[in-house]
Each structure stands twice: as structure tokens, then as C-alpha cells.
Amino acid sequence: MKTPSQLFESFRARFGTASTSYRAPGRVNLIGEHTDYNEGYVLPAAIGFCCWVAAARRGDRKLVIHSENFKETIEASLDSLSPPGKKHWANYPLGVAWALEKAGKRLSGANFFIAGEVPLGAGLSSSAAIEVAVGFALLNLSGHKIDRVELAKLCQRAENEFVGARCGIMDQFVSCHGRAGHALLLDCRSLEFELVKLPAAVQLVICNTMVKHELGSGEYNARRAECEEGVRRLRAVLPQIRALRDVTLAQLEKHRGILDPKVFTRCRHVVAENERVMKAVEAFKREDVGALGPLLRESHRSLRDDYQVSCKELDLMVQIAVAQRGVLGARMTGGGFGGCTINLVEDAAVDEFKRNVSARYASKTGLSPEIYVTSASEGAQAVDIGQNNSLG
């Protein structure tokens, strides 16, 4: 990949001027899956892979955006923004401009050169990374103060209303607020958060199954609808609840009879997963890494059996991982139906873990997995090219 000074030079070669650089990270979720849109708790970390943008103001209201990954340049007017096409990469940057303007933030036109290093379609939030990086740049170039909570919400709005994906707030929020060496406990109702220090001798190892099942987004919306139905039914007997976040496992069991069996198991996943997040946070705070394994294992089992968002490749990847030395815990991460697993692996065991997991997964599936070793990283920031940080 490039260095920030190469990004600066690529921008100059294309647009003929100097630029300012920004970056925003992808994320991995340690625990708390499919809880964000139920107003619950999540525990993600920003990862070392970022979306990088070099940008400079223009004198008009045009956005000219070049994507290095897609080798394509698009132009749009800030006065008439609409999605260039279904699943088009430019929906994300244009959607953010649209959401910022809708929120009353008048923007100036800008030229952009975008280089993303978050693997695409792997469930590591390359879309949140591009949204946040572009949003950060647009606000900065247009002279607006950056409120990171508001930026995360507007990036989510861009994805919900402009791109057309009904995601929750987790990905954009941690891309804005991540901190090196920490995971972020987020209350998705109040948006209050707390940084949770991760053990120093443990790496976040992400295993990409290399499969992405097409049913993903339709099933995601179906799960959301099932959770909403659960809340609607439960309100008949628990009128004080607003979301599954407000329900306890005991209440759910007690009122099992009024729920469709499938809706019941979906709700059980969400309610139990919220409890697991809090237990995992306590374990990190006590530095009791031994307590994490059972929590991650139970999270995976619940996502597989109750929420039914895993797939055979994710199950296999977890099964192989937990049999390795030095593994504190493993589970699927992100929306599911393919993508990645998160593995907490002791430093000294990482190389052997990578070798063994790659070989076993490949021999059983015929697929070569990608394995990324990363540590928790900083959220979105402007980049001083003088620092000559590496992009690779």
C-alpha cells in the first residue's frame, strides 16, 4: 500500500494541488452482536486497517471523488445528491455529504482521492471507514467543528437512508471513537461509552473465511423485524419496555407463551448477549482472561442456534481456532453469513495459530483464509504527512 506522502502525491498528480489527509478505521466486534439496533450494549475495537482520504476544497459546490480501489472517478453536485447506482462504492461518500447537508451543515465542494485498506465485504466495516473518513474531511474542509457523536449518527443516517442498509450505530461509532489498546463499551441507547483496556500480551486475530453469502442483508432486516415483533408482543404484558434492552431473561422465559417460537429464540439471543457483554467487560477489568473463553463460545453458539446468522465456514473456523494453543476465545464477528471470526490469542502463540488455522481451514474447505493480526487502534483523525506513517 501507499504511505501518506504517496497519497499526497497521488492527489497532486490527479488534481494538481496540495491536500490534507484523513483516515478512519474499520472495526472488529469482541462481543455484543446484533444488540446495537436493540438499544443494547456492544464491545468493538477499531482495527489497524483504515480508509485514507486526501482532500482539498474547491471554489464551487462540486464533489469530485477518485477511488483508488475501484479505479474510478465520479462527480456530483452538492445541490442534487442522489445514489449513482445500487451497490456503487460512491453511495457511501455521497451519502455522508447528503446527511451532513440535511443536518444543516453547509459544505464546500471538494476533490477527494480515496484509498481503502479495510478488506471489502469481509464484515470489518469498510463502509463505516469510508463514511467516517469522508465525513471528517468534509466537516474539516468546510470549517465546521467536529462532534464525533454527531458525525457517527450522520454516517449511520447516510447508510440507512441514502445507501439503503438498515445498520445500527456500532460501526460508525467505534470508527469515530476508537482508542489504541482499548475496546469501547457502548450503550447504544444513550450513546454513552467507556474505554476498556485490553490485556497487553493478547492480540486480536481476525480470520477471514473468504465467504460472503448473498442472503446477508435480507436476513439482517428479517432479524430486525423479528426483534421488533418480539418487543410489540412483550409490551402487551410489559408496557414499560421500549426495546429488547429493557427485558430480562427471567421475563422472557415467563412470557415465552405469547411469542412465536422463532421470535422467542431471536429475543433470547439479544437479551443473553447483552448480559455477556457486561460480563466480558468485568472480566477485562479484573484482568481475568480465563473468563472470556466461555463468554465468546456461548456468544457464537447463540448466534448459530438462536439467532441463526452463522454459516458452516464460520462454525468450522471457530472450531479449528479453539483447539489451538494460546487461544483465549473465538467467535464469529459482525453481521454474519460469512466474513470473519475474532480470536483473542496470546502473543507468543500467534505465529503457530496462523499456520495451523490456515492449513486446517484450507484442507477442509479448499479456501485460503486471510488472517489479520491487529491491535486496537485510534479512531478517525487528520494525518500529518510529515509523520510518514505507513499505509500498509
Residue with cell 457517527: 152
Window of 163-171, 227-235, 293-301, 352-360 that interacts with ligand GLA by CB under 6 A: 163-171
User: What does 48-89 look like in DSSP terms, one character per residue?
Assistant: EEEEEEEEEE-SSSEEEEEETTTTEEEEEETTS---SSTT-T
Report if residue 34 touches ligand GLA, rule: CB under 6 A: yes
Kindly state the helix (H) or strand (E) to which residue 332 belongs, with its residue range.
Answer: strand 327-332
Q: Using an 8 Å Cβ cutoff, are 177 and 205 in contact?
A: no
Report if residue 334 touches ligand GLA, rule: CB under 6 A: yes
Nearer to ligand GLA among residue 25 and residue 334 (C-beta): 334
Burial 238-265 (b: 16+ CB within 10 A, else e): beeeebbbbbeeeebeebeeebeeebbb
Nearer to ligand GLA among residue 18 and residue 191 (C-beta): 191
Report if residue 331 touches ligand GLA, rule: CB under 6 A: no
Q: Which of 40, 109, 216, 335 binds ligand GLA (CB under 6 A)?
A: 335
Burial 193-213 (b: 16+ CB within 10 A, else e): beebebbeebbbbbbbbbbbe
With contacts defined by CB under 6 A, how many residues of the chain interact with ligand GLA?
11
Report if residue 95 touches ligand GLA, rule: CB under 6 A: no
Q: Which of 382, 380, 383 is nearest to 177 (CA)?
A: 380
Beta bridge pairs of residue 196: 183
Q: Which of 19, 36, 105, 376 binds ligand GLA (CB under 6 A)?
A: 36
Q: Which of 39, 117, 131, 171 binds ligand GLA (CB under 6 A)?
A: 171
Nearer to ligand GLA among residue 187 and residue 346 (C-beta): 187
Q: In angstroms, what is the minimal distance from the CB of 159 to ligand GLA? A: 8
Q: Using an 8 Å Cβ cutoff, are 372 and 26 in contact?
A: no
Residue type at position 207: C
Residue type at position 93: P
- Name the active-site residue from 36, 171, 246, 306: 171
Whether residue 306 lies in the annotated active site: no
Residues 244-283: x/- map of binding to ligand GLA (CB under 6 A)? ----------------------------------------
Report if residue 170 touches ligand GLA, rule: CB under 6 A: yes
Q: In angstroms, what is the minimal distance from the CB of 213 to ligand GLA? A: 14
Q: Which of 33, 39, 226, 306 binds ligand GLA (CB under 6 A)?
A: 33
Nearer to ligand GLA among residue 138 and residue 169 (C-beta): 169
Site for ligand GLA in 12-31 (CB under 6 A): 29
Alpha carbon distance 389, 382 (integer Å): 12
Window of 87-95, 164-172, 298-306, 323-331 that interacts with ligand GLA by CB under 6 A: 164-172
Q: Angle at the Cα of 7 (from 153 to 143), degrees rounded to 5?
A: 45
What's the grid cell of residue 182?
482499548
Residue type at position 385: I
Q: Which of 372, 364, 334 is nearest to 32 (CA)?
A: 334
Alpha carbon distance 250, 273 (integer Å): 14
Q: Using an 8 Å Cβ cutoff, are 243 and 189 in contact?
A: yes
Query: 10 Å Cβ neighbour count for 237?
Result: 12
Nearer to ligand GLA among residue 29 and residue 310 (C-beta): 29
Nearer to ligand GLA among residue 314 and residue 349 (C-beta): 314
Q: In angstroms, what is the minimal distance from the CB of 48 to ligand GLA? A: 18
Q: In angstroms, what is the minimal distance from the CB of 274 to ligand GLA? A: 12
Report if residue 167 touches ligand GLA, rule: CB under 6 A: yes
Nearer to ligand GLA among residue 42 and residue 385 (C-beta): 42
Q: Which of 11, 37, 112, 113 binds ligand GLA (CB under 6 A)?
A: 37
Beta bridge pairs of residue 332: 341
Give the three-class secondary structure for 102.
Answer: helix
Nearer to ligand GLA among residue 66 and residue 331 (C-beta): 331
Report if residue 226 touches ligand GLA, rule: CB under 6 A: no
Alpha carbon distance 235, 261 (integer Å): 17
Q: Using an 8 Å Cβ cutoff, are 130 and 93 in contact?
A: yes
Note the residues at the interface with ligand GLA (CB under 6 A): 29, 33-34, 36-37, 167-168, 170-171, 334-335
Tell me the catalytic residues. 171
